[in-house]
């Protein structure tokens, strides 16, 4: 008998698909590729408004994450892959009332706030059969604080669609300016001070289809060399990466892998990356493939930007190392294959 699998996506998938459908070309989406690889029914925040009354009530009384967990539970699947811990923990609570069901979750920041206490107080990991994390920091927290057994823990690399974000082969000398992209836990205050007064154009795109964080560029005193953009199409974003001399990813001091999407996109198109050396991002860095910057230190960041500008051979060497490792270890296809194997192992574990 075929097992029924459900993929729970903590985002508004229909809206993302509608936006991408208007574009001539766009990157493949990990949730669609996962659904195909697992032969799973995909449910996201987009489905909550048209779901059963119980789902609508849970969403209204609590939040979309809980509403999604309730919707998933009502599907009566044999296996669930849940793409964030907010939904995964509540689904695990509901699954205490059902035997023989397996769930694997992706844990982005299980160390945050009340999550750690909810997981332990309710012994939720007895109903979670696999935890995937993008950083050892989160995995170690699950092992040491939450007492999750080793066989349930999986550290994997994040992904980029290497077939879309490709190197255009342009020379370093033909590129211009600095690009910084993303909203999640960015330290744009430090970045703005680092580039103030430099004779180089800077473009900041502080927007994201995923993040609900506030725009850290808002109401700031911006120097004349900074231009703000938002609402770019996938092709416009790729063109922006390809046109620049370097990508700078300034991060707040966090233990989750904020910035990893921009990092891998930039490296996939073969651009040098300067990135704040936080604990959370370290597992996504390669040996010599990025230029790490000190947390909150505008002067250090400025020095490294200038070195990258005035040393094209150095910048090209950095970008090539990062590019090669991204294609070797962090492609979307490798990511899907790895998660599929983890899910199948969890399903078959007695």
Long-range contacts at 13-22 (CB < 8 A, ≥ 24 apart): 13/42, 13/44, 13/45, 13/46, 14/44, 14/46, 14/47, 15/46, 16/209, 19/209, 20/234, 22/233
CA R_g for the chain? 21
Question: What is the band of 56 on the pLDDT scale with cuts at 50, 70, 90?
Answer: very high
Tokens of 33: 């590729």
pLDDT above 70 for 212 = no
Long-range contacts at 114-117 (CB < 8 A, ≥ 24 apart): 115/85, 115/86, 115/89, 116/141, 116/145, 116/146
Mean local confidence (pLDDT), 323-350: 96
> Coil, helix or strand for 213?
coil
Which residues are CB-neighbours of 57 under 8 A, at least 6 positions away?
none
Q: Nearest-CA neighbor of 268 among 308, 313, 312, 325?
A: 325
pLDDT above 70 for 203 = yes
pLDDT number for residue 208: 66
Tokens of 6: 């459900």
Please determine, looking at this structure, whether the domain spanning 172-329 carries the CATH number 1.10.287.610. Answer: no
pLDDT above 80 for 26 = yes
pLDDT number for residue 118: 75
- Among the residue ranges 22-31, 39-48, 268-277, 282-291, the one predicted with the least confidence is 282-291
pLDDT above 80 for 230 = yes
pLDDT number for residue 348: 92
pLDDT above 70 for 297 = yes
Class at the top of the CATH hierarchy for domain 5-159+331-348 = alpha beta
Question: What is the band of 339 on the pLDDT scale with cuts at 50, 70, 90?
Answer: very high
Same fold, 5-159+331-348 and 172-329: yes
Task: Give kind and range of the element (H or E) at residue 130.
Answer: strand 130-133
pLDDT above 90 for 159 = yes
The pLDDT tens digits of the residues spanning 37-49 come to: 999 999 999 999 9
β-pairing verdict for 291-293 and 273-276:
parallel
pLDDT number for residue 210: 57
Contact 291, 318 (CB under 8 A): yes
pLDDT above 60 for 270 = yes
pLDDT above 90 for 2 = no
pLDDT above 80 for 167 = yes
Domain ranges of the chain: 5-159+331-348, 172-329
pLDDT number for residue 1: 53
pLDDT above 70 for 213 = no
The pLDDT tens digits of the residues spanning 89-122 come to: 999 999 988 999 999 999 998 887 776 667 776 7
- pTM for this entry: 0.93
pLDDT number for residue 211: 54
């Amino acid at each position: 008998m075929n097992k029924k699998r459900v993929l729970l996506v903590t985002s508004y998938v229909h809206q993302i698909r509608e936006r991408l459908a208007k574009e001539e070309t766009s990157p493949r989406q990990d949730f669609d590729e996962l659904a195909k690889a697992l032969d799973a029914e995909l449910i996201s925040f987009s489905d909550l408004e048209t779901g059963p009354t119980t789902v609508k009530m849970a969403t209204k009384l609590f939040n979309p994450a809980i509403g999604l967990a309730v919707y998933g539970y009502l599907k009566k699947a044999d296996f669930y892959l849940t793409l964030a811990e907010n939904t995964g923990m509540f689904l695990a609570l509901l699954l205490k009332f059902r035997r023989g069901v397996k769930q694997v979750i992706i844990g982005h920041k299980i160390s945050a706030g009340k999550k750690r206490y909810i997981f332990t107080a309710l012994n939720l990991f007895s109903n979670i059969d696999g935890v995937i994390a993008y950083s050892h920091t989160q995995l170690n927290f699950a092992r040491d604080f939450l007492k999750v057994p080793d066989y349930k823990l999986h550290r994997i690399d994040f992904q980029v669609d290497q077939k879309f974000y490709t190197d255009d082969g342009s020379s370093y000398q033909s590129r211009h300016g600095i690009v910084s992209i993303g909203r999640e836990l960015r330290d744009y205050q430090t970045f703005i001070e680092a580039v103030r007064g430099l004779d180089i154009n800077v473009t900041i795109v502080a927007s994201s289809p995923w993040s609900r964080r506030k725009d850290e560029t808002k109401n700031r005193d911006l120097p004349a060399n900074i231009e703000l953009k938002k609402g770019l199409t996938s092709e416009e974003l790729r063109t922006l990466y390809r046109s620049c001399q370097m990508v700078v990813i300034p991060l707040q001091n966090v233990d989750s892998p904020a910035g990893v999407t921009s990092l891998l996109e930039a490296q996939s198109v073969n651009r040098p990356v300067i990135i704040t050396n936080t604990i959370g991002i370290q597992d996504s860095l390669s040996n010599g493939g990025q230029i790490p910057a000190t947390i909150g230190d505008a002067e250090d960041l400025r020095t490294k930007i200038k070195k990258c500008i005035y040393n094209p051979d150095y910048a090209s060497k950095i970008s090539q190392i990062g590019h090669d490792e991204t294609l070797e270890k962090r492609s979307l296809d490798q990511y899907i294959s790895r998660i599929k194997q983890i899910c199948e192992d969890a399903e078959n574990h007695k």
